[in-house]
Amino acid sequence: MGKLDNKVALITGGGSGIGKATALLFAQEGARVAIADWIEDQAKTVAAEIERSGWAVITINTDVSKAADAERMVAATVRHFGRLDILYNNAGIGESKLLHTMTEAEWDRTIDIDLKGVFLGCKYALPELMKQGGVILSTASVAGIEGIRRMAHYCAAKAGVILMTKSMAMDYAEYGIRVNCICPGGIGTPLFETGYENLTPERKERALKAFTALHLLNRIGQPEEIARTALFLCSDDASFITGQAIVVDGGYTAGHRMLGSAR
């Protein structure tokens, strides 16, 4: 018996990183999975891996920042599988930039994907979830809890996801819908790598070492560790948890350490 037997899960950004790890784990635990991603080849590669194990999966080419795409991904999932039980809003972007050098288009793109994309996914999934109850989960970030240098747009979006999560949990509990989000620390994903792509190899090594040291466990997390948290929150194991921002960050936000202090 799997933890998600007979459940239908729609995962955005399911073609790589946390989304890929979650799609594979959810399928292993009995869910029928819809992978929504704007990079179609990546989604199909993950789907092929799931299909080889005999599990049910579909892919939907989706830009979560567009209402028509969000509506279509929910409709396609329900049309194929007959219902929707879990929405995992995981798609996101993030790039490092000082606010005064940021264009309006760059600000809008981050907000549109990381915050508006969650709104649109929920908007079209909620009528389906309200029929029988279910779960909404979103990927927020420790950047929604405390500031991070050169990431004002990303921090604003992720803070919005956290408060939207709490508000939706209040609004939809009466329909049997639980709403939570995960706040990862540094996770070894393709998105994480983009933050260092413009650095020389030497500067990248120093930056990665310094950032890693900010985590009490002195390492970067892995996508599978977030996927296991997602499985818990979307399963009946978390049946009494709603309206929460679950931090999975290796101790990144535990407290600030003085420079030069002993570990």
Per-domain residue ranges of the chain: 8-188+222-248
Whether residue 64 contacts residue 70, with contact meaning beta carbons closer than 8 Å, is answered with: yes
Q: How far apart are CA 215 and CA 130, in angstroms?
A: 39
pLDDT score for 190: 75
List the 134-139 sheet strands across, edge first. Answer: 57-61, 32-37, 8-12, 86-89, 134-139, 177-184, 245-248
For domain 8-188+222-248, give the CATH superfamily.
NAD(P)-binding Rossmann-like Domain (3.40.50.720)
Q: How far lies 210's CA from each of 16, 119, 150, 207, 230, in Å? A: 25, 34, 16, 5, 28
Q: How far apart are CA 89 and CA 113, in angstroms?
A: 10
Question: Which residue type is seen at 39?
Answer: I
pLDDT score for 208: 83
Whether residue 196 contacts residue 208, with contact meaning beta carbons closer than 8 Å, is answered with: yes
pLDDT score for 207: 76
pLDDT score for 192: 67
Residues annotated as catalytic (active site), given as ranges: 154
Chain CA centroid to CA 199, Å: 26
Rg for the chain (alpha carbons), in Å? 18
Query: H helices within the chain, ranges in order?
Result: 17-28, 40-52, 67-81, 104-111, 117-129, 152-172, 190-194, 201-213, 223-234
pLDDT score for 194: 63
Q: How far apart are CA 239 and CA 232, in angstroms?
A: 9
Strand partners, 16: none
Dihedral class, residue 54 (left if φ above 0, else alpha if ψ from -120 to 50, else beta): left
pLDDT score for 216: 96
pLDDT, one tens digit per residue, over 45-75 is 999 999 999 999 999 999 999 999 999 999 9
- pLDDT means per 10 residues, the chain with 263 residues, are 97 98 98 98 98 97 98 98 98 94 97 98 98 98 95 97 98 98 93 64 80 93 98 98 98 80 51
Structure tokens at 148: 């991070």
Dihedral class, residue 190 (left if φ above 0, else alpha if ψ from -120 to 50, else beta): alpha
Residue found under tokens 């299909």 = 51
Angle at which helix 17-28 crosses helix 40-52, to 10 degrees, equals 20
